Amino acid sequence: MIDETAQGPGHYEPLPLPDRVQLPPESAQAAAQDFLRYMRKRHSVRDFAPDPVPRALIEACIAAAGTAPSGANQQPWHFAAIADKAMKARIREAAEAEEEAFYAGGAGDAWLRALEPIGTGAAKPHLTVAPWLIVVFAQRYGIDASGARNKHYYVPESVGIATGFLIAALHHAGLVCLTHTPNPMKFLNTLCARPAQEKPVMILPVGYPAADAVVPAAAKSKKPLGEIMSVFD
């Protein structure tokens, strides 16, 4: 299990719970339903407006992602926020080269058939149109001041949770994003000057939706609660 109370090397020092957000049952139910309705308005968007997004807004959303729980509280993530047009162009060029091979048969027929309702293709204009790209890196291990390696625990789970926090924060700020995963993505380490122990796992184009933005109808189909939840009470 992920235990975010662990503090790594050192001693355990319990602190009184600094914040309490508990609500009365009726208020809690209303808040949960309000959040559900709001999250249902979140959409993965490929059509971005070129309107600028303040850096401070991106920083606040990434800071929110950094509050996520992680294995042994090691916070094994790094977020590279890119607005530089030349860097975005290089990312798009490299990503589209990988996507060409993917759609030319590298993905396999079954995978390509599964993607048909989403309407994706090798062209990725959102990588240059979106005002920001956020590259998510997973730190497979840490390096202390002496240069020794520190093992990180539950890295995929921890980074996945933090990325979910980030997506929710971006939505809460009125922005849209898209989860984009070119494969392989090793070129992102060089481009973003990240060390070898970090693995790029995702690119999030971020911005405001274009006036004529569309989403695939298939994306509105979500599994009902009965299919994603089991209750034992």
Whether the upstream peptide bond of residue 184 has omega within 30° of 0, thus cis, is: yes
Report the alpha-carbon distance of residue 172 to residue 140 in Å, rounded: 29
**Per-residue confidence (pLDDT) for residue 5, from 0 to 100:** 54
Measured CA to CA, the distance from residue 174 to residue 216 in angstroms comes to 20
Q: What are phi and psi of 116, to 5 degrees?
A: -55, -45
Give the position of tokens 């993917």: 102
Please list the pLDDT of the chain residue by residue as tens digits (233 residues): 665 554 455 789 999 999 999 999 999 999 999 999 999 999 999 999 999 999 999 999 999 999 999 999 999 999 999 999 999 999 999 988 887 877 777 767 786 787 787 777 788 999 999 999 999 999 999 988 888 999 999 999 999 999 999 999 999 999 999 999 877 788 899 999 999 999 999 999 999 999 999 999 988 999 999 999 999 99
Closest CA to 123 of 108, 146, 102, 151: 102
Which domains, ranges and CATH numbers included, belong to the chain?
A: 54-215 (3.40.109.10)
Q: What is the pLDDT of residue 4?
A: 55
Q: What is the pLDDT of residue 228?
A: 96
Please give the pLDDT value at position 7: 46
pLDDT in the model for residue 9: 59
CA dihedral 93, 182, 75, 58 (to 10 degrees): 50
Structure confidence by residue, pLDDT tens digits, 132-157 = 999 999 999 998 888 899 999 999 99
